[in-house]
Structure 1
Amino acid sequence: MVERDKRQKFEELAEKRVNKAIKDLRLIGNLSNRNNYSFDDSDVRKIMKALDDEMKALKGRFAQTRPSDQDFKL
């Protein structure tokens, strides 16, 4: 029963948070309208780097495997 409650809570929160993140990303995308905003390539790179860095951190938190302690071999 407890495991099911955890699953239900995960699904509920995941749906809400992912939908909010998608909405917020679309709002960030709206900033690309040069008729309404002034920005340069440096600004865009900073935004993309911040989002990419956060996605990498997110993927790392969900990763099931840990780095191997074995030596590298070709």
Structure 2
Amino acid sequence: MADKKTESKRDKFVRIAEARTNKILNMVELLGNCSNSNIYEYTTSDVNQIFGAIESAVKDAKKKFSAQDTEKTTKFSLKK
């Protein structure tokens, strides 16, 4: 691994994105452990809320990588 001071933007992205992605994948795996109904009690509504929140966060994060998201779609103007 290159010295962090001389690390390219690409190398920095790869290093950080891999580490963060692996953390997320690990946490999703841990969340899956909560599906053991011998230990936990949950409803379908609970599961839908959990995965709805996760899916929404993934969608928001993915939008940040889109070129379309760099420009705000709604701009304020008093001109007609």
Residue 15 of structure 1 and its aligned partner are, at CA, apart by 0.8
1:41 corresponds to which residue?
44
What is the aligned length? 66
- Scaled by the length of structure 2, what TM-score is found? 0.73
Bigger Rg, structure 1 or 2: 2
2:59 corresponds to which residue?
56
Residue 59 of structure 1 and its aligned partner are, at CA, apart by 1.2
Residue 49 of structure 1 and its aligned partner are, at CA, apart by 0.8
Unaligned 5+ runs, structure 1: 70-74
| Residues 21-49 of structure 1 deviation map (CA, whole Å, 9 limit, x = unaligned) | 00000011111110110111111111011
Residue 63 of structure 1 and its aligned partner are, at CA, apart by 1.2
- Scaled by the length of structure 1, what TM-score is found? 0.78
Unaligned 5+ runs, structure 2: 1-6, 74-80
| SS of residue matched to 1:31 | helix
Structure 2: distance between partners of 1:17 and 1:25? 12
* Match 1:65 to one of 63, 68, 76: 68
